[in-house]
């Protein structure tokens, strides 16, 4: 079986699910860039838990974990099946790596999972498992989490980290989707992007030392899925830039693929 890459996707606003945008069109064409996976494992910025937790239901509910958006968003259901066997496999790998991994059969999928998947796989015919992040931890911890999961890439599983390359909602130019990128955003995203493309894993992990880091990520949960994807890319993984866009001046929507040795 051909090994799949791991991906980091910036999921932006929930409106990505229904609005036409460059990022939406990118996601719609993404599935043609690699073989169809047998399942998808998504580390979501909106799924936070103190221990690595995996959704383990065969029929995950669609969670609308946002407020103040148009009514049609709340009517969307993404009826993809779950994959309890993948949740068990991932939990075993994480336990072997020293993590206190847990499976929860009562959890659904949040919008960090279903919004991008709805654009990539609109048929909702690929089983999905969600994985939590922990904002109290570090980038290195999430990188190790991803490294433990790298073997599933050789088993037909697409590993996705769903978050945001920058994420400061209070600083957005609301109502101005086409506003140019603010200088303090590029001050952070440009060096981080360069480190990922160069395969400088240590430099990428040291994100808090980059200019304007705290302004771009006042809280780290939207960045940590990047490190899960980077780790899942395996040994020697070097980033490949798939997409780049900025909305409202401060919402960087970069997407990357990572592909190295699965061990």
Domains of the chain (ranges; CATH) run 6-258 (3.40.830.10)
pLDDT at res. 147: 98
pLDDT at res. 175: 76
Question: pTM to 2 decimals?
Answer: 0.96
Which residues make beta-bridge pairs with 252? 246
Which residues make beta-bridge pairs with 161? 8, 43
pLDDT at res. 258: 98
- Report the 10 Å Cβ neighbour count for 29: 12
Instruction: Report d(CA 147, CA 191) in Å as an integer.
Output: 23
Going by their DSSP bridges, the two strands 39-48 and 157-163 should be labelled as: parallel
pLDDT tens for the 263 residues of the chain, in order = 679 999 999 999 999 999 999 999 999 999 999 999 999 999 999 999 999 999 999 999 999 999 999 999 999 999 999 999 999 999 999 999 999 999 999 999 999 999 999 999 999 999 999 999 999 999 999 999 999 999 999 999 999 999 999 999 888 887 778 789 999 999 999 999 999 999 999 999 999 999 999 999 999 999 999 999 999 999 989 999 999 999 989 999 999 999 987 66
pLDDT at res. 263: 63
pLDDT at res. 171: 84
> Token digits for 1?
């079986």
Instruction: Report d(CA 117, CA 65) in Å as an integer.
Output: 16
Taken as a whole, the chain contains a residue count of 263
Q: Which residues contact 177 (CB under 8 A, 6 or more apart)?
A: 21, 247, 248
Instruction: Report d(CA 124, CA 80) in Å as an integer.
Output: 4
């Amino acid at each position: 079986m051909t090994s799949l890459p791991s991906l980091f996707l910036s999921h932006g606003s929930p409106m990505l699910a229904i609005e036409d945008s460059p990022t939406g069109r990118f996601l719609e064409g993404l599935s043609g860039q690699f073989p169809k996976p047998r399942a998808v494992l998504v580390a979501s910025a909106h799924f936070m838990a103190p221990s690595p937790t995996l959704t383990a239901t065969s029929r995950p509910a669609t969670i609308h974990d946002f407020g103040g958006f148009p009514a049609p968003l709340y009517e969307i259901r993404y009826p993809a099946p779950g994959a309890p066997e993948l949740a068990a496999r991932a939990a075993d790998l994480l336990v072997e790596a020293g993590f206190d991994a847990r499976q929860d059969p009562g959890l659904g999928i949040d919008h960090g999972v279903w919004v991008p998947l709805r654009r990539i796989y609109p048929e909702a015919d690929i089983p999905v498992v969600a994985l939590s992040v922990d904002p109290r931890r570090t980038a290195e911890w999430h990188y190790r989490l991803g490294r433990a999961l790298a073997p599933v890439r050789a088993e037909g599983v697409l590993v996705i980290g769903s978050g945001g390359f920058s994420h400061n909602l209070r600083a957005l130019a609301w109502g101005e989707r086409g506003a140019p990128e603010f200088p303090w955003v590029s001050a952070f995203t440009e060096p981080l992007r360069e480190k990922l493309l160069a395969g400088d894993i240590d430099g990428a992990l040291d994100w808090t030392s980059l200019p304007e880091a705290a302004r771009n990520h006042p809280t780290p949960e939207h960045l940590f899925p990047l490190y899960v994807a980077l780790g899942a890319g395996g040994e020697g993984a070097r980033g490949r830039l798939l997409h780049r866009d900025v909305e409202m001046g401060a919402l960087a929507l970069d997407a990357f693929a990572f592909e190295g040795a699965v061990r």
